[in-house]
Chains A and B, each alone.
Chain A
Amino acid sequence: MAAKPKLHYFRGRGRMESVRWLLAAAGVEFEEEFLETREQYEKLQKDGRLLFGQVPLVEIDGMELTQTRAILSYLAAKYNLYGKDLKERVRIDMYTDGTLDLMMMVAVGAFKPPAEKEETSAKTRYFPVFEKILKDHGEDFLVGNKFSWADIQLLEAILLVEELDASVLSDFPLLKAFKTRISNIPTIKKFLQPGSQRKPPPDSHYVAVVREILQF
């Protein structure tokens, strides 16, 4: 039996959370090794396990994968969440890339002074696009009438932005319905319950640990 994928990252969301979502949604069990000290991080680097000296790192199928998007693409393809052909794949890439842009803004937001407003970008640039996509085809999922990485990524982004502004979906009825629908998929429902490997929003302790380990 194949070993479970093993995730190396801080004990928090950051760039690894999207990987946790995708694995959980696909029903794949995974292990985690949390970086808590600078020494642990330096050891990973010295052992040559981090191609560019950075985490996230995922051990899977005999590979040591780094670079968030490379990891996500691999998992999406492996677990049949990447569409049925090249044209569906490119749509999934467009949607997830846009969503990931938004999520990266939120992820680094914890480390910045509260001047920039990620929830505004969500409301004006990103969410209207997905509301329109759902409206235009009237289907339950973003691409190909089938559950894909694009749906998982969007749900994660919605929940993330709602933590900043609970009313962010008030003008987007189809996204509201989408959120409910995707949240009720059994693997995702399980991931959303307490006790799962989902990580909480960053707090000052998390920020301090990351700053210390990455020395910035």
Chain B
Amino acid sequence: FEEKYIATPEDLDKLRNDGRLMFGQVPMVEIDGMELVQTRAILNYIASKHNLYGKDLKERALIDMYIEGMADLNEMIIIFPIHPPGEKEAKLALIKEKTTNRYFPAFEKVLKSHGQDYLVGNRLSRADIHLVELIYNLEEFDPSLTASFPLLKALKTRISNLPNVKKFLQPGSQRKPPMNPKSLEQAKKIFRLP
């Protein structure tokens, strides 16, 4: 895939003024002659197109349930850098608490209940990919978060060794680093935030 980076407020203005952002927001992905917005819509399309969305409606429902929970937790991570310094400690504690008391136990239990290598349908799906991404993101805050979750640790290893994922995890791939103070400043400029 190709990437066009928004580096200035004018870049974002142009996309908006050209009518390419349905609700005035990014992400936007050009694919198959369409200009898709809304992260979920984009992900649903790609997952369906590439057979990572289960084999039938019931598997899809399970995948959706799992990934919506992951999205809730991921949202907290995405917003975290934007909190003022005074709030960060409390927010971080909340993220860790939800991870270890709500989300990781749920997924560990799913893996334990069927004993299979993947979350749904004994086959790789987007649920596995999103969960491993989430685990990596959380470990950047605190590597010990997975300590009590052996099946999640094993899933992370297994998925990380899939050739495409392995390649993506190596330096030089299109994977992006965590937000740092400089990239946060740039993002605020682009969105004209104080």
Contacts and interface: CB of A to CB of B under 8 A. Distances in A.
Interface string B85-120: 000000000000000001100100000000000000
Interface residues of A, number: 27
A97 interface: yes
Contacts, number: 75
Interface string A37-53: 00000000000000111
Q: Taking chain B's interface residues, is the majority helix, strand, or loop, or is none over half, making it mixed?
A: helix
Interface string A89-101: 1100110011001
B103 A90 contact: no
Contact of A90 (B45, B58, B65): B45
A63 B58 contact: yes
A13 to B, nearest CB: 19
Interface of A: 51-53, 61, 63, 65-70, 73-74, 77-78, 86-87, 89-90, 93-94, 97-98, 101, 125-126, 129
A30 to B, nearest CB: 16
Contacts of B32: 87
A100 to B, nearest CB: 9
Given A93-B40, A129-B22, A65 B61 contact: yes
Contacts of A94: 22, 36-38, 41
B38 A98 contact: yes
Given A52-B69, A63-B58, A74 B38 contact: no
Give the size range of B's interface with the partner. 20 to 34
Interface of B: 22-24, 32, 34, 36-38, 40-42, 44-45, 48-49, 57-58, 60-62, 64-66, 68-69, 72, 102-103, 106
A74 B23 contact: no
B65 A70 contact: yes
Contacts of A125: 23-24
A154 to B, nearest CB: 13
B64 A69 contact: yes
B41 A51 contact: no
13 contacts: A51-B66, A53-B102, A63-B62, A67-B68, A70-B64, A73-B64, A90-B42, A93-B40, A94-B38, A94-B41, A97-B40, A97-B41, A98-B23
Contact of A93 (B38, B62, B66, B72): B38
B78 to A, nearest CB: 15
